[in-house]
Amino acid sequence: MFGRLVDHLASRGDDSALLTVDRRLSYRQLADHVAASASDLGSQRRLVLLETRNDVDTMVNYLGALAGGHVVLPVTADADHTAMVDAYDPDVVIRDGSVLHRHRPAHELHPDLALLLSTSGSTGSPKLVRLSRTNLASNAEAIATYLDIRHTDRAATTLPMSYCYGLSVVHSHLLRGAGLILTDDSVVEDGFWDLMHAHRGTTFAGVPHTFDLLDRIGFDDMSLPHLRYVTQAGGRLAPDTVRRYAELGRRRGWQLFVMYGATEATARMAYLPPELAYDNPTAIGVPIPGGAFDLIPVEHSTDDPNGQTGELVYRGAGVMMGYAHTPDDLATGHTVEALRTGDLARRCPDGLYEVVGRISRFVKLYGLRIDLQRVETALQNAGVTAICAEGDGALLVAATDRPAGCDVALVAANASGLPRSAVRVLDVDEIPRLPSGKPDLLGVRALADRTAATERDAADLRVLFADVLHLDAASIDPRASFVDLGGNSLSYVAMSVRLERALGHLPADWPRLPLRDLEATKRSRRWWGTTLETSVALRAVAIVLVVGSHAGLYTLWGGAHVLLGIAGYNFGRFCLTPLPHAQRVRHLVSTIAWIAGPAVAWVAIALVITDDYTASNLLLANKFLGPDDSMTAGRLWFVEVVVWVLVALALVCATPIADRLERRRPFAWACAFVAVALAVRFDGFGMGREAWFTVLAFWFFAIGWAASKATTVWQRAAVTAMLAVGIVGYFGNPNRELLVFTGLALLIWLPAIRCPSAFTVAAGVLAEASLLIYLVHYQVYPLFGEHRLLGVVASLVVGVVLTMLLTMARRRIRLVGARPVGSRVIAPARR
């Protein structure tokens, strides 16, 4: 294939070669594009640095460079390639399909040399692997053979082309005339699966981290009728995960290929036949066709009663020509005959090979030789996902997903023989990884350095979190976020204002950022004001509009409906979070109690001192139970709508299927509720009863919910359009409709505003007290008769004072009678 690349492509005729969202290229068309690209690069061999994306331009330029006999150095687009460019001075640089730099060939290139790849999967290191056309052709043929790739297959590009695994998918499928579904979307994005369905994808490749992501999105329940096989490489996949996916594939009619390889072997060295995966989940399998393994005894390995053990050495046509450190090395021929992998392996009696450790992962600390792989295995057996490294004379453990009560440092100390004080645990949301998906050990050491510099200041934020959420500061896990610690739509107002003062700004999506990450974002105070979340500002303005309009100070109706939209917005932000299902439901029930509890308590007081309410108000059900002719009992409609909407949604969210659907497509799920709510808004399905008032007003809540899940411009535009459709004619008052539309449009498009510090503080206080202000103002402002301004101010002040007293009472109750929960909270992985 690689000798006569254009002819090979053309021979496949009209079969699909490249498939994208809006484009299909046949093999014949691809051959024409590749020939033109090769011609454009010229006949003299050049060193071509190609910035790669999984798109048509990259594929054409890559294949064009190979077809023209040039040497390709693929790097990841949008990364810093300064070190690589300085080290090798490429003759040609191709970025976004355009040639940006070209000069006369300045390098002496060995005639066999075809491809240069980074050894680590990153683009920062100038150490490169030199690969020949024979390497590429033989490895592609071997992979295509054991995978039984057919011309009808369609492989999705889940991995970067700068990574040997990603390129091996390209080479092996083009070799057999199969199609490539080009996408840079992650497997957690809807767009990826839309493409898989649209183009009848039969396969995709994954590193271990990919399978973690598949677990999060409910891959087990997906319908993929054309899927034929899934491949895994790029690191060891947990045995339980191998078994689970092997069994899932057996039930669903596809195969799991667990594979082993290295850039120095072009890509693949071994594969585990799918029928053996379930019973041999720790094995790497057998050598690929044309390859062979040897085991060389090493100093610190011992004889294994279950098979021969030693350093794994690979021989085959895929073994690299050698390394390159400088441009002079590009003229060197083959310097490597066999590849010493650095892995400790054993050959089992059944002929399968199993990697049991890594020679280079033995470190010496406190006079002890420590196997880091063994420590990681012990942690994994304890339910902890972690990687280990050595740094500053200590054992560094970057850990995530720890079970409650698990002492990670103690487990690592016992497994290594080190004293517990020699183990330093770094809590992370996700294991640091290279672009290839492999663990980033240098990143662990850099994280340790950064963590040491910020740990001293993190205590201040713990105190702040503890004060707002009524927790014990010492018990708060620095990996936990505001949402993880029980923060909700009521407490976030105080948290946002105080956090802005502490950090100098409000980071994007701060409620879901772990405390330690928030501390790392600290900035100096800006002289021109502070940042205030738009939802907080709107909440403050809306409650003032509500009180002033009811008191007759002015007539600006619509504030309550803006508050209803904000309630939906906060529902999406604080109730539909990445927390586990049971925790989500508990959080939602807690939110309902935070709203309904004060409302019922105030109604009980008002029943004693006034004639404003009836017994039905104690149930927050006046719109359902009446009386319909009361001038005052319907005043609490806003609270009734919010509470009963939340109760209904709590019942929906409690079902596993609804939970899975919302997690998989949060924006689409929210929009489905908007659509139903708008249908009710326009015809009401013939309801015509006051009891359905809650349902009729639900669309404002649903709009806010959809706004919280809108992450792209087109999604925000879609929510705005739905708002415009619903608001026109709803009140029969254009001014009121304009006010509500403006408020909710700001919520959709403007996440935060900068304003004077005094306004931020005032808005925060009013927004935090908005619920109690709404409840009490009906009884407060009438006390001032025609002094309407005093009545409005008094209503606001009374609501603020009662909120402060309630906060103090809650804090006292939590500190005296409740056990701390912060130390038991595990921060979810970042999306």
Specify the higher pLDDT residue, 478 or 776.
776
345 shares a domain with 413: no
Question: Pairing between strand 113-118 and 92-95?
Answer: unpaired
Residue located via tokens 């090798």: 88
Q: Confirm if 26 and 16 have CB atoms less than 8 A apart.
A: yes
**pLDDT higher than 60, residue 447:** yes
Q: How confident is the model at residue 819 (pLDDT cuts 50, 70, 90)?
A: very low
Is residue 829 one of the residues assigned to a domain? no
Q: Confirm if 645 and 657 have CB atoms less than 8 A apart.
A: no
What is the tens place of the pLDDT at every residue in 497-509?
Answer: 677 767 766 776 7
The two tokens of residue 722 are 């739905």
The three-point CA angle 161-163-164 to 5° equals: 105
**pLDDT higher than 60, residue 596:** yes
**pLDDT higher than 90, residue 32:** yes
232 shares a domain with 376: no
pLDDT computed for residue 455 by the predictor: 52
Sign of CA dihedral 215, 216, 220, 226: negative
pLDDT computed for residue 437 by the predictor: 67
* pLDDT average, residue stretch 432-449: 76
CA distances from 18 to 27, 56, 75, 177 (A): 8, 7, 21, 11
Q: How confident is the model at residue 280 (pLDDT cuts 50, 70, 90)?
A: very high
**pLDDT higher than 90, residue 33:** yes
The two tokens of residue 628 are 């319909």
What is the tens place of the pLDDT at every residue in 258-278?
Answer: 999 999 999 999 999 999 999
Mean pLDDT is lowest, of 189-193, 518-522, 565-569, 801-805, for 518-522
Which of 439, 458, 482 is the endpoint of a domain?
Answer: 439
pLDDT computed for residue 751 by the predictor: 83
Is residue 115 one of the residues assigned to a domain? yes
702 shares a domain with 578: yes
Residue 340: is it exposed, middle or buried by C-beta count within 10 angstroms (0-12/13-18/19+)?
middle
677 shares a domain with 589: yes
**pLDDT higher than 80, residue 451:** no
Other Cβ atoms less than 10 A from the Cβ of 568: the count is: 30
Q: How confident is the model at residue 473 (pLDDT cuts 50, 70, 90)?
A: low
Q: How confident is the model at residue 779 (pLDDT cuts 50, 70, 90)?
A: very high
558 shares a domain with 432: no
What is the tens place of the pLDDT at every residue in 357-408?
Answer: 777 777 767 666 788 888 988 998 888 989 998 877 788 999 987 787 788 9
Q: How confident is the model at residue 688 (pLDDT cuts 50, 70, 90)?
A: very low
Question: Pairing between strand 322-324 and 128-132?
Answer: antiparallel
What is the tens place of the pLDDT at every residue in 618-630?
Answer: 898 887 787 877 7
Is residue 715 one of the residues assigned to a domain? yes
Dist. CA 375–CA 369, nearest whole Å: 12
Which of 328, 353, 378 is the endpoint of a domain?
Answer: 353
pLDDT computed for residue 512 by the predictor: 75
Dist. CA 781–CA 766, nearest whole Å: 17
pLDDT computed for residue 106 by the predictor: 78
* pLDDT average, residue stretch 758-767: 85
429 shares a domain with 562: no
pLDDT computed for residue 560 by the predictor: 93
The two tokens of residue 315 are 């021989």
Dist. CA 204–CA 779, nearest whole Å: 64
- The arrangement of strands across the sheet holding 113-118 comes to 98-102, 92-95, 47-52, 71-76, 113-118, 128-132, 322-324
CATH number, domain of 269, equals: 3.40.50.12780
153 shares a domain with 264: yes
Is residue 662 one of the residues assigned to a domain? yes
Element (H, E) at 277: helix 274-277
Dist. CA 207–CA 653, nearest whole Å: 32
Percent of the chain surpassing pLDDT 90: 51
**pLDDT higher than 50, residue 691:** no
* b/e map 488-500, b = 16+ CB within 10 Å: bbbbbbbbbbbbb
Q: How confident is the model at residue 419 (pLDDT cuts 50, 70, 90)?
A: confident
**pLDDT higher than 80, residue 48:** yes
* pLDDT average, residue stretch 206-216: 88
Q: Confirm if 59 and 97 have CB atoms less than 8 A apart.
A: no
Q: How confident is the model at residue 299 (pLDDT cuts 50, 70, 90)?
A: low
What is the tens place of the pLDDT at every residue in 719-735?
Answer: 999 999 999 999 889 99
Q: What share of the chain is helix, strand, coil (3-state, %, to 5)?
A: 50, 15, 30
**pLDDT higher than 80, residue 820:** no
Q: How confident is the model at residue 196 (pLDDT cuts 50, 70, 90)?
A: very high
What are residue 314's DSSP bridge partners? 293, 339
Dist. CA 416–CA 411, nearest whole Å: 9
State the average pLDDT for the chain: 85
Closest CA to 806 of 610, 636, 608, 594: 594
Q: Confirm if 481 and 512 have CB atoms less than 8 A apart.
A: yes
**pLDDT higher than 90, residue 830:** no
Mean pLDDT is lowest, of 106-115, 160-169, 503-512, 537-546, for 503-512
* pLDDT average, residue stretch 83-95: 89
> Which stretches of 665-733 are DSSP H helices?
666-683, 693-709, 713-727
pLDDT computed for residue 304 by the predictor: 54
* pLDDT average, residue stretch 663-667: 90
392 shares a domain with 298: no
Q: How confident is the model at residue 83 (pLDDT cuts 50, 70, 90)?
A: confident
CA distances from 90 to 45, 329, 424, 461, 561 (A): 12, 14, 42, 49, 61
pLDDT computed for residue 281 by the predictor: 94
**pLDDT higher than 60, residue 685:** no
pLDDT computed for residue 146 by the predictor: 97
Closest CA to 199 of 27, 20, 384: 20
**pLDDT higher than 70, residue 334:** yes
Is residue 826 one of the residues assigned to a domain? no
How many CA atoms lie less than 13 Å away from 632 in the CB half-sphere? 14
Is residue 724 one of the residues assigned to a domain? yes
Helix (H, G, I), strand (E, B) or coil at 829: coil
CA distances from 555 to 225, 408, 708 (A): 60, 61, 30
**pLDDT higher than 50, residue 823:** no
Dist. CA 331–CA 657, nearest whole Å: 60
Which of 439, 457, 481 is the endpoint of a domain?
Answer: 439
714 shares a domain with 627: yes
pLDDT computed for residue 342 by the predictor: 86
pLDDT computed for residue 689 by the predictor: 43
What is the tens place of the pLDDT at every residue in 526-564?
Answer: 444 577 889 999 999 999 999 999 999 999 999 999 999
373 shares a domain with 311: no
Specify the higher pLDDT residue, 347 or 495.
347
* Total domains, the chain: 3
pLDDT computed for residue 740 by the predictor: 95
pLDDT computed for residue 645 by the predictor: 93
Element (H, E) at 114: strand 113-118
Q: How confident is the model at residue 690 (pLDDT cuts 50, 70, 90)?
A: very low
Is residue 496 one of the residues assigned to a domain? no
What is the tens place of the pLDDT at every residue in 630-651?
Answer: 767 788 889 999 999 999 999 9
Q: Which domain range does residue 626 map to?
A: 533-817
What residue ranges in 190-338 does DSSP mark as E strands? 203-206, 229-232, 255-261, 268-272, 286-287, 292-296, 308-315, 322-324
pLDDT computed for residue 314 by the predictor: 97
Is residue 165 one of the residues assigned to a domain? yes
Percent of the chain surpassing pLDDT 70: 87
80 shares a domain with 115: yes
267 shares a domain with 385: no
